[in-house]
């Protein structure tokens, strides 16, 4: 019997200043690689390898600091498949009576934890996750009484709270948001700097072999694993990005280019989400580059907004709206997810590129997720639950608190307008404007309907026609429906017929 609590550290809580670790510096720690967590959806194999390897490295760091860590490796302890199994084992072995844990990122796990006191007959203390910059209570207060919750206004509150990019009470440079400057296409011969590769060490090699052995039916390549698995590596990658990419991040934030999976994006999402990088420190380092004259304000503000604004807003909204949030289906979409979401085998060059990057790297950048794979799923009427599951599976940075509102709300508008004020639906013209994909595509982006027309073109108009009753009254959709009303009958009939034929084959 011990009077010290046991601290349970989850796979996305690999931060030295985690609230549970700080609250009980002498307490023993439990970490476990669990079948239930690795397989409740079929996570990309690189994602499982990243988390297990980062967990093993973090456990060693904790031991080096003198902490007592029980680490259960995948499949090595009979009968331990879930957190409850692992806890039962330690309760029996060490006479544990109290558990201390930092709140999880997922509703599913929070429900489970709240039952442990009863099901495991121990005292359970769940402490707030202080790595986030907004507390649940702050967001609830901000949201109270508002008809619409808009990221932009919440973001301004967060700028004021943190002092990031502020000049007294005013935004630095006089504007809160420089998004209008951030929509350039990559010039033809312009090659962004390559990503840093972290060659697997012995720990990662072991994990890669384990994942190959046990997760053969999950999506993804393993031979090119390059993710940072320690805080030091994540910082090295971030420093490389600050030097070589940040100055162009704003300009090319929305750009897509064949063969360039990462463009100027930070590649920090996975590291921040599992705890290897601290979001506030990341934002402060980016702000410092502006003050030292090494990066322009549109790049710095654009990047900080993603973390301080979007990341915090999305997480807060998730906790405010769960569990019902995931059940909404504004358009009543119910089509199955096409198989090519796992293989990339499609004649649509933009989809092939986005899905190819996803399978190869467990990564696609924001515009590919939103305006290519997400846009297609929206226009084609794929069931939100199937799309949500795919996004949760395939990205190294995917955890439900951040994946769900982005997919369900931002990309699919399945929440009817909680995350965004209108659907991010777009025809092929948008993809053509922001990428070089259309020039090498089987389909013709300039053609509205017919066998060789770009599917995004006729699916876009068919979607608008199908959902006029739900979208026609949205003030931000006025222009779209005015254009639809100007469309001649032959084009309208052609669009509907092409969409019908394409969707039947899907």
Ligand X SMILES: Cc1cc2nc3c(=O)[nH]c(=O)nc-3n(C[C@H](O)[C@H](O)[C@H](O)COP(=O)(O)OP(=O)(O)OC[C@H]3O[C@@H](n4cnc5c(N)ncnc54)[C@H](O)[C@@H]3O)c2cc1C
Identify what 391 binds: ligand X, ligand SF4, none; CB under 5 to 8 Å per kind: ligand X
Identify what 431 binds: ligand SF4, ligand X, none; CB under 5 to 8 Å per kind: ligand SF4
CA distances from 454 to 237, 347, 354 (A): 38, 10, 16
Q: How far apart are CA 467 and CA 456, in angstroms?
A: 16
Residue window 444-483: x/- pattern of binding to ligand SF4, with contact defined by CB under 6 A = -x--------xxx---------------------------
Q: Which is nearer to ligand SF4, 347 or 493 (CB)?
A: 347
Q: How far apart are CA 379 and CA 413, in angstroms?
A: 11
Q: What is the dihedral of CA 183, 188, 190, 196, to 10 degrees?
A: 80
47 touches ligand X by CB under 6 A: no
378 touches ligand X by CB under 6 A: no
CB-facing half-sphere around the CA of 432: CA atoms within 13 A: 16
CB-facing half-sphere around the CA of 287: CA atoms within 13 A: 20
Which of 322, 357, 398, 453: binder of ligand X (CB under 6 A)? Answer: 398
Q: Beta strands 170-171 and 166-167: pairing type?
A: antiparallel
298 touches ligand X by CB under 6 A: no
The residues in 235-294 that bind ligand X, with binding defined as CB under 6 A, are 265-269, 272-273
Q: What are φ and ψ of residue 444, in 5° steps?
A: -105, 115
414 touches ligand X by CB under 6 A: no
Q: Which is nearer to ligand X, 107 or 395 (CB)?
A: 395
397 touches ligand X by CB under 6 A: yes
Give me the residues paired with residue 30 across strands: 8, 70
Which of 210, 348, 377, 434: binder of ligand SF4 (CB under 6 A)? Answer: 348
Q: How far apart are CA 463 and CA 64, in angstroms?
A: 57
3-class state of residue 275 by DSSP: coil
Which of 432, 436, 449, 464: binder of ligand SF4 (CB under 6 A)? Answer: 432
Which class for 379: exposed (0-12), middle (13-18), buried (19 or more C-beta within 10 A)?
buried
**Secondary structure element (H or E) that encloses residue 55, with its range:** helix 45-64
Give me the residues paired with residue 71 across strands: 31
441 touches ligand SF4 by CB under 6 A: yes
Q: How far apart are CA 48 and CA 34, in angstroms?
A: 11
Sign of CA dihedral 162, 166, 167, 169: negative
3-class state of residue 419 by DSSP: coil
Q: Which is nearer to ligand SF4, 54 or 256 (CB)?
A: 256
Nearest C-alpha neighbor of 223 from the set 195, 202, 203, 199: 199
428 touches ligand SF4 by CB under 6 A: yes
Measured from the CB of residue 309, what is the shortest distance to ligand SF4 in angstroms? 29
CB atoms within 10 A of CB 371: 23
| Segment near ligand X (CB under 6 A); pick from 89-97, 344-352, 400-408, 481-489 | 400-408
Residue window 336-375: x/- pattern of binding to ligand X, with contact defined by CB under 6 A = -----------------------------xx--xx---x-
Helices of type H across 306-374 = 312-321, 340-343, 349-361, 366-367
Phi-psi region of 163 (alpha: psi -120 to 50; beta: other; left: phi over 0): left
Measured from the CB of residue 446, what is the shortest distance to ligand SF4 in angstroms? 9
Q: Which is nearer to ligand SF4, 334 or 345 (CB)?
A: 345
Q: Which is nearer to ligand X, 161 or 491 (CB)?
A: 161
Measured from the CB of residue 374, what is the shortest distance to ligand X in angstroms? 4
| Segment near ligand SF4 (CB under 6 A); pick from 13-21, 56-64, 153-161, 431-439 | 431-439
Which of 71, 443, 458, 461: binder of ligand SF4 (CB under 6 A)? Answer: 443
Identify what 407 binds: ligand X, ligand SF4, none; CB under 5 to 8 Å per kind: ligand X
379 touches ligand SF4 by CB under 6 A: no
311 touches ligand X by CB under 6 A: yes
Structure tokens given for 198: 């972290």
Q: Which residues bind ligand SF4 (CB under 6 A)?
A: 348-350, 428, 431-432, 437-438, 441, 443, 445, 454-456
Q: Which residues bind ligand X (CB under 6 A)?
A: 265-269, 272-273, 303, 306-307, 310-311, 314, 365-366, 369-370, 374, 391, 395, 397-398, 402-403, 406-407, 410-411
């Amino acid at each position: 019997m011990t009077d010290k609590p046991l601290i349970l550290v989850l796979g996305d809580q690999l931060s030295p200043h985690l609230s549970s670790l700080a609250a009980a510096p002498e307490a023993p720690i439990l970490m476990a690689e669990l079948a239930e967590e690795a397989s409740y959806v079929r996570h990309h194999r690189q994602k499982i390898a990243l988390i297990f390897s980062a967990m093993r490295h973090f456990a060693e760091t904790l031991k080096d600091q003198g902490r007592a860590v029980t680490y259960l490796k995948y499949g090595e302890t009979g009968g331990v498949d879930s957190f409850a199994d692992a806890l039962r084992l330690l309760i029996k072995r060490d006479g544990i009576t109290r558990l201390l844990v930092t709140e999880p990122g997922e509703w599913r796990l929070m429900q489970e934890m709240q039952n442990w006191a009863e099901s495991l007959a121990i005292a359970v203390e769940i402490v707030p996750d202080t790595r986030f910059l907004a507390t649940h209570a702050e967001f609830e207060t901000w949201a109270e009484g508002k008809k619409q919750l808009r990221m932009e206004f919440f973001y301004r509150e967060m700028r004021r709270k943190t002092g990031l990019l502020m000049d007294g009470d005013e935004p630095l440079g006089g504007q809160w948001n420089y998004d209008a400057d951030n929509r350039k296409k990559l010039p033809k011969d312009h090659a962004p700097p390559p990503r840093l590769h972290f060659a697997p060490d012995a720990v990662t090699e072991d994990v890669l072999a384990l994942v190959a052995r046990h997760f053969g039916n999950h999506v993804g390549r393993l031979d090119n694993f390059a993710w940072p698995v320690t805080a030091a590596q994540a910082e090295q990658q971030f420093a490389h990005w600050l030097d070589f990419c940040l100055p162009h991040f704003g300009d090319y934030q929305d750009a897509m280019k064949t063969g360039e999976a990462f463009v100027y994006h930070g590649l920090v999402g996975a590291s921040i989400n599992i705890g290897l990088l601290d979001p506030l420190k990341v934002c402060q380092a980016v702000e410092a580059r502006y003050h030292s004259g090494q990066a322009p304000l549109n790049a710095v503000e654009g990047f900080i907004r993603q973390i301080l604004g979007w990341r915090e807003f999305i997480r807060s909204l998730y906790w405010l709206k769960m569990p019902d949030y995931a059940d909404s289906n504004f358009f009543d979409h119910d089509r199955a997810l096409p198989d090519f979401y796992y293989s990339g085998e499609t004649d649509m060059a933009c989809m092939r590129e986005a899905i190819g990057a996803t399978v190869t790297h467990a990564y696609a950048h924001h515009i590919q997720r939103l305006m290519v794979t997400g846009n297609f799923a929206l226009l084609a009427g794929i069931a939100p639950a199937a799309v949500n599951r795919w996004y949760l599976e395939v990205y190294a940075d995917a955890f439900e608190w951040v994946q769900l509102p982005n997919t369900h709300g931002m990309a699919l508008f399945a929440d009817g307008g909680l995350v965004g004020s209108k659907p991010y639906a777009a025809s092929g013209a948008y993809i053509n404007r922001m990428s070089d994909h259309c020039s090498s595509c089987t389909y013709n982006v300039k053609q509205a309907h017919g066998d060789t027309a770009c599917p995004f073109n006729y699916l876009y108009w068919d979607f608008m026609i199908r959902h006029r009753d739900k979208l026609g009254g949205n003030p931000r959709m006025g222009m779209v429906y005015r254009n639809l009303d100007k469309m001649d009958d032959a084009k309208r009939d052609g669009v509907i017929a092409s969409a019908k034929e394409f969707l039947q084959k899907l």
